[in-house]
Chain A
């Protein structure tokens, strides 16, 4: 039997859908309200101080926390009433959240395993392992991986599910500072290759500059500014934006 192979990412010509989100979500005493579009091939960074509600916003879009009001739409598909497993939204979690009991191969094969046999899923995982330089690590357990390797596995696992939208939650925060520069460039290349609507949540200007071409600033659950980093620099709307732009890279 021929195993399903992942559709080749680069040069994929069909139009990928945009993400449209306008949500109100409450977590504890915090309320987050935001509306934005993320277009395929134009990653959006959601940047803001700790506790601004960035991760909550991401979880709401992925369907991991319920929204109070609003809508989440992918292309012409309304997904805000769908459970997370039917939204086709991939998530790169902050500290990756790999399955500790599964090998690298079975982590990457997980989405395919949910749709088919173990054998077919493992075959389908092969090209992803190769593309992310994980072939050598395929039999390892997550506990035996470095931070950078874990990030690769988590990204391969998310993209192997062939999501239409990719959400990245503070993708660099679990890495050593020395590693971040290198991994950021690698991650940016993979995100470009993915080519679909992408939202990256971060509090680092360097992440926003490398991984995204538009920025949305979230402070205390509200959008305070949006535009490119250059546009933000030209007219920072709040003291936070001014401080964030003045901070050296990788200062946390």
Chain B
């Protein structure tokens, strides 16, 4: 038992230790100041923040729907749950291909979008955000849904007897009660969006400054300039750990030691 636990821990920790040990610490400043790196960093942070915002706006109502669906008949309830779960277990590359087949030039909707409105989504920064939303949304939905399920429904009934309309009940009771779940979901969502690779490179490509996010830049640099790749990887690690530390005490009881 203890041995296996130790191996398990090593699998999780050793690669990160290696990353930190082999990092070109001396040139790190110069590497990170490169324009290509800054470009990728700004693009990554920007798209991940927008994607997280979109996930909040779309995901909280979806979580409410999913939580309320508990009283629906089985087929509808299961279909809804499956629709949210599939992107979670799907390889991101498949998601990217699926997005292309929907919104690409010859896609189900893409052709009409291009003809009618002159909008082409693939290989734009918007496509990066869309790919991130596709893979990250389920994280937010399930975190919020869990919080909704464990919140006491009767507080909502009590609020109604005190004159609160449906919207007021949601605004003044439900939402504050699930706020920790929403925050935890948003953090998961942001880190997942920040790390997105497969769906992004398939659907949005790798145009410097437009769709080349940190993970993609890091992967490409690995073949030409490993030191830059390592610096980019460290940057991603630092942002992820930073987010975790920043939010842990206030909003992530599950992460607190």
- Given A99-B173, A101-B176, A93–B163 Cβ distance below 8 Å? no
Q: Which stretch (A109-117, A190-198, A221-229) binds chain B?
A: A109-117
B177 interface residue per 8 A CB criterion: yes
Bound-state CA distance A101–B177 (Å) is 7
In B161-185, the 8 Å CB interface with A consists of 161-165, 168, 172-173, 176-177
The chain A residue sitting closest to B154, CB to CB, is A97
Cβ distance B11 to chain A, nearest Cβ, rounded Å: 40
CB neighbours of A85 from chain B (8 A): 160-165
Bound-state CA distance A99–B165 (Å) is 16
Asked if A84 and B155 make an inter-chain contact with CB atoms under 8 angstroms apart, the answer reads: no
A6 interface residue per 8 A CB criterion: no
Interface of A is mostly: mixed
CB neighbours of B163 from chain A (8 A): 85-86, 111, 114-115, 161
Bound-state CA distance A12–B154 (Å) is 32
Interface of B is mostly: helix
B27 interface residue per 8 A CB criterion: no
Cβ distance B172 to chain A, nearest Cβ, rounded Å: 7
Bound-state CA distance A64–B159 (Å) is 11
In B141-162, the 8 Å CB interface with A consists of 152, 154-155, 157-162
Interface string of B30-73 (1 = CB under 8 A from A): 00000000000000000000000000000000000000000000
Which of the residues A86, A99, A100, A115 comes within 8 Å of B159, measured between beta carbons? A99
We find that the number of chain B residues with CB closer than 8 angstroms to chain A is: 17
Which of the residues A91, A99, A101 comes within 8 Å of B161, measured between beta carbons? A91
Bound-state CA distance A115–B173 (Å) is 15
CB neighbours of B165 from chain A (8 A): 85, 114
Interface string of A82-121 (1 = CB under 8 A from B): 0111110111010001011100000000110111000000
Cβ distance B152 to chain A, nearest Cβ, rounded Å: 7
Asked if A64 and B162 make an inter-chain contact with CB atoms under 8 angstroms apart, the answer reads: no
CB neighbours of B173 from chain A (8 A): 99
- Given A93-B154, A97-B152, A100-B177, A62–B161 Cβ distance below 8 Å? yes
A129 interface residue per 8 A CB criterion: no
Asked if B161 and A90 make an inter-chain contact with CB atoms under 8 angstroms apart, the answer reads: yes
A200 interface residue per 8 A CB criterion: no
Asked if B158 and A91 make an inter-chain contact with CB atoms under 8 angstroms apart, the answer reads: yes
Bound-state CA distance A109–B21 (Å) is 58
- Given A64-B157, A100-B155, A113-B172, A157–B177 Cβ distance below 8 Å? no
The chain A residue sitting closest to B160, CB to CB, is A84
CB neighbours of B152 from chain A (8 A): 97
- 19 cross-chain CB contacts under 8 A: A84-B157, A84-B160, A85-B160, A85-B161, A85-B163, A85-B164, A87-B161, A97-B152, A97-B154, A97-B157, A99-B159, A101-B176, A110-B162, A111-B162, A114-B168, A114-B172, A158-B161, A158-B162, A161-B161
A90-B161, A114-B172 known; 8 new pairs, CB 8 Å cut-off, are: A64-B157, A84-B157, A90-B162, A97-B155, A114-B162, A114-B165, A114-B168, A158-B162
4 closest A-B pairs by CB: A84-B160, A111-B162, A97-B158, A91-B161
